[in-house]
C-alpha cells in the first residue's frame, strides 16, 4: 500500500509539473487548490446518482487548427479540462475564433462493471464531435446543456481507449446562444469561452437502465408526479419508486418502465428559503424481485404561482403565500476559470454568501451553471430565476430609465431560431427537477427577442409548474406571468395597470453601484459602474436609500427586485464582492440587516 501511495504521489507531481495557470490575471482564493490530479472531483449530477463512475477531468492534449484542415498532425500541448482554453486555469490562455477548430485528446480505461458505458459532458461551447478509438460516437450543438453518448460499441475489450473531441465555436459571429461572450470584450461584454467548460465523466451501467427521471410536486394535492425513461427494458420489468424523509419511507409505488407515478406525500414539509427541506427519492428497476438498476435523487414540495392580493394586484407567490423576492444579478464568471469555478467550494461560496447577505433569490443571468450549483441552491434554500442565454442579438433595443420596452420582435433566421429552441428546451429539461428554480426567463432586454408570444406560451406549456418572465427588461407583450422593468441606478416599477394589470410586476435590474478596489480589478484602467463611488461608506449609504425606496414600492404592487450584481465581472466594478471574491465592499452583516425590512409584508 505504501509503495502504491508513493507511485501515485510521483505520478501526480510529474503531471503537475506540466501545467501552471496562466499568469497576469487576478485569481480567487481557490485557484491555488486546483491541481491536475484533482479537478472538480465531486459527483457532477446530484439529481441522478449512481456509484459506478469515473471522472475524466485533468490534463488532456490540445491543438488549434484551421477550420478547413483535417485532424491535427500533432498536439500543441496540455490543457486542463474542464477549464475553457481562454481561461488562466486551462494553462493555455488563448482565443480560438470562428475560423479555427479546437481539438482535445486523452486516453482512459474502461470502468469496471457495467455492460453499457456512457460518456457524459456537462457542457461544451458550442458545436462538438466526439470520437472514441477513431470512431464517431456522436455530435452535439449547444453551449449550456449537458449531453451524453453511449460509447460501448466503440470500446476495445481492454487496455487504453482514445478519446478525441473536436469543437467549433463562432462566439458572437454565429447565431447560437452565447450569453455575454464577444470577440472584443468591453463594458458588459466578456471574454469568449470555447470548448469544454464542465466536468467530463464516464458511467458504467447495466444493459437496462434509467435514462431520465422527471419529478413535479403539487402541494395542493400533496403529490409528487414522477416520469421515467428506461433504456432496453425487458418484459416484466418494474420500476419501484419511493420517497423518504430522513430515512423514513413516506410513499412508494410501482410502475411500468417509462411510465408515470403519482406519489402521495402526506402532510408535506414545504420547501422555502427559511426551511429548504429536501426529500430523498429512490428508483429501482426490478426484474424477478432483484434490482437491475438503482438511482438516488431528491425532491422538494414547493409551489411557484401568482394570484391577486386584497387590492386586486397580481403577486408572485411561494407555496400560495406572497414572499417578496429579492436577490442579485448573478453572472457566474470567474477571473481564473471564466465560466468554470475553480472548485466546488468556490461554486458554493457565492451561494452561501448571497444567503448570508440576506438575499432570498438569485437571478442567474444569461448563463447556465453546472448541476451542482443548483444542488447548492436547493439545499440552502435560494430561489432562482433562470435566464436563457442570449444569442443572435441583432439590433437590440436598449432600455431607457422608467420605460418598459414596446418594440418589435427581431427577425431571426431559421437556423438561429432552431438553435434557440433546441437549447432552451434542453436547458429546461436538464434543470426541471431543481426546486430552487421558480421563474424561467426566455429573453433579456430584447437581445435576440423573437416570436415572444409563441416562445413564452411554449415555455409555459412545457413547464406549468413555474412562472415565466417573458422578457426581463425587454419588449413586452400581454403574455407570460410577469412584467419586468430594468432601471438604473434607482429603484422603480412598471405601471401596475399595463396590459390590464394581469401580470405580476417586478424590477428585474437596478443599482449597479460601482467601487473599484485597488489590487482586485481585472485591469487597472477603464473600469466602470452604472454609478461609481470613491468609498465603501458612500456606496452603502446610497444602497440604504435604495432599500428604503424598494420597501415603499412593495405595498404598491412590486413583487420582486434584482440588484446588479453579485461580483465585479471583468471591467464592471459594480459587484457586492470583487471579481476575485477576496473583498466584500461592505460587511455581510450590514447587507443582511438592511435587507430584513423588505420581507416584512405586514
CATH number for the domain that contains residue 484: 3.20.20.80
The DSSP bridge pattern shows strands 279-287 and 467-468 to be unpaired
Last residue of a domain, one of 299, 328, 345: 299
C-alpha cell at 551: 420597501
C-alpha cell at 140: 452535439
Nearest CA-CA partner of 366 in 301, 447, 310? 447
Q: Which of the residues in the chain have pLDDT under 70?
A: 1-17, 394-407, 499, 601-602
| 575, part of any domain | yes
Same domain, 238 and 292: yes
| 48, part of any domain | no
- What is the predicted pLDDT for the residue at 387? 98
| Helix axes 344-356 and 588-595, enclosed angle (nearest 10) | 50
Domain span at 13: 2-38+58-198
Residue 7 belongs to what H/E stretch? helix 2-17
- What is the predicted pLDDT for the residue at 296? 97
Same domain, 131 and 178: yes
Give the separation between CA 228 and CA 297, rounded to whole angstroms. Answer: 13
- What is the predicted pLDDT for the residue at 601? 64
Give the CATH number for residue 19.
2.60.120.260
Quote the pTM value.
0.94
Same domain, 242 and 165: no
Same domain, 373 and 489: yes
| 436, part of any domain | yes
Are 49 and 5 a contacting pair, CB within 8 Å?
no
Amino acid at each position: 500500500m505504501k509503495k502504491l501511495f508513493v507511485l501515485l504521489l510521483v505520478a501526480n507531481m510529474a503531471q503537475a509539473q506540466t501545467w501552471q495557470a496562466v499568469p497576469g490575471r487576478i485569481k480567487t482564493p481557490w485557484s491555488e487548490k486546483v491541481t491536475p490530479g484533482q479537478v472538480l472531483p465531486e459527483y457532477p449530477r446530484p439529481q441522478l446518482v449512481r456509484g459506478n463512475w469515473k471522472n475524466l477531468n485533468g490534463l488532456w492534449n490540445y491543438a488549434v487548427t484551421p477550420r478547413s484542415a483535417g485532424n491535427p498532425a500533432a498536439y500543441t500541448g496540455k490543457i486542463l479540462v474542464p477549464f475553457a482554453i481562454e481561461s488562466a486555469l486551462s494553462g493555455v490562455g488563448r482565443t480560438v475564433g470562428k475560423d479555427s477548430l479546437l481539438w482535445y485528446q486523452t486516453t482512459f480505461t474502461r470502468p469496471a462493471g457495467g455492460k453499457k458505458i456512457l460518456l457524459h459532458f456537462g457542457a461544451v461551447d458550442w458545436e462538438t464531435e466526439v470520437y472514441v478509438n477513431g470512431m464517431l460516437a456522436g455530435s452535439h450543438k449547444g453551449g449550456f446543456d449537458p449531453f451524453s453518448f453511449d460509447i460501448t460499441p466503440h470500446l476495445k475489450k481492454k487496455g487504453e481507449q482514445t478519446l478525441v473531441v473536436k469543437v467549433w465555436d463562432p462566439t458572437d459571429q454565429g447565431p447560437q446562444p452565447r450569453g455575454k461572450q464577444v470577440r472584443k470584450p468591453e463594458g458588459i461584454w466578456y471574454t469568449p469561452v470555447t470548448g469544454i467548460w464542465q466536468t467530463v465523466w464516464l458511467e458504467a451501467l447495466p444493459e437496462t437502465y434509467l435514462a431520465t427521471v422527471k419529478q413535479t410536486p403539487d402541494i395542493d394535492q400533496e403529490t409528487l408526479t414522477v416520469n421515467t425513461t428506461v433504456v432496453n427494458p425487458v418484459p416484466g420489468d418494474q420500476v419501484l419508486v419511493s420517497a423518504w424523509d430522513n430515512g423514513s419511507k413516506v410513499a412508494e409505488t410501482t410502475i411500468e418502465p417509462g411510465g408515470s407515478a403519482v406519489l402521495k406525500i402526506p402532510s408535506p414539509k414545504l420547501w422555502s428559503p427559511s426551511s429548504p427541506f429536501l426529500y430523498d427519492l429512490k428508483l429501482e428497476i426490478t426484474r424477478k424481485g432483484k434490482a437491475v438498476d438503482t438511482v438516488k435523487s431528491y425532491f422538494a414540495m414547493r409551489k411557484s404561482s401568482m394570484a391577486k392580493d386584497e387590492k386586486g394586484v397580481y403577486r408572485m407567490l411561494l407555496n400560495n403565500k406572497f414572499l417578496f423576492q429579492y436577490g442579485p444579478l448573478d453572472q457566474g464568471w470567474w477571473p481564473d476559470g471564466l465560466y468554470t469555478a475553480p472548485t466546488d467550494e468556490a461554486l458554493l461560496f457565492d451561494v452561501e454568501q448571497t444567503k448570508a447577505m440576506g438575499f432570498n433569490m438569485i437571478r442567474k443571468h444569461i448563463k447556465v451553471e453546472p448541476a451542482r450549483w443548483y444542488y447548492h441552491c436547493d439545499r440552502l434554500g435560494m430561489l432562482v430565476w433562470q435566464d436563457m442565454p442570449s444569442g443572435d442579438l441583432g439590433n437590440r433595443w436598449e432600455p431607457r430609465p422608467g420605460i418598459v420596452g414596446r418594440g418589435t420582435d427581431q427577425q431571426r433566421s431559421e437556423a438561429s431560431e432552431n438553435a434557440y429552441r433546441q437549447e432552451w428546451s434542453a436547458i429546461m429539461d436538464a434543470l426541471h427537477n431543481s426546486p430552487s428554480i421558480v421563474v424561467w426567463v426566455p429573453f433579456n432586454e430584447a437581445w435576440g427577442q423573437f416570436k415572444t408570444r409563441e416562445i413564452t406560451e411554449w415555455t409555459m406549456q412545457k413547464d406549468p409548474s413555474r412562472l415565466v418572465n417573458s422578457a426581463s427588461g425587454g419588449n413586452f407583450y400581454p403574455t407570460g406571468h410577469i412584467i419586468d422593468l430594468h432601471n438604473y441606478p434607482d429603484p422603480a416599477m412598471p405601471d401596475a395597470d399595463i396590459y390590464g394589470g394581469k401580470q405580476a410586476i417586478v424590477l428585474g435590474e437596478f443599482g449597479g453601484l460601482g467601487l473599484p478596489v485597488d489590487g482586485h480589478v481585472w485591469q487597472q484602467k477603464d473600469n466602470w459602474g452604472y454609478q461609481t463611488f470613491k468609498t465603501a461608506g458612500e456606496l452603502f449609504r446610497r444602497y440604504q436609500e435604495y432599500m428604503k425606496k424598494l420597501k415603499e414600492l412593495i405595498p404598491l404592487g412590486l413583487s420582486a427586485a434584482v440588484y446588479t450584481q453579485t461580483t465585479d465581472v471583468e471591467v464592471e466594478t459594480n459587484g457586492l464582492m470583487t471579481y476575485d471574491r477576496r473583498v466584500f465592499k461592505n460587511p455581510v452583516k450590514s447587507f443582511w440587516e438592511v435587507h430584513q425590512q423588505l420581507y416584512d409584508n405586514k
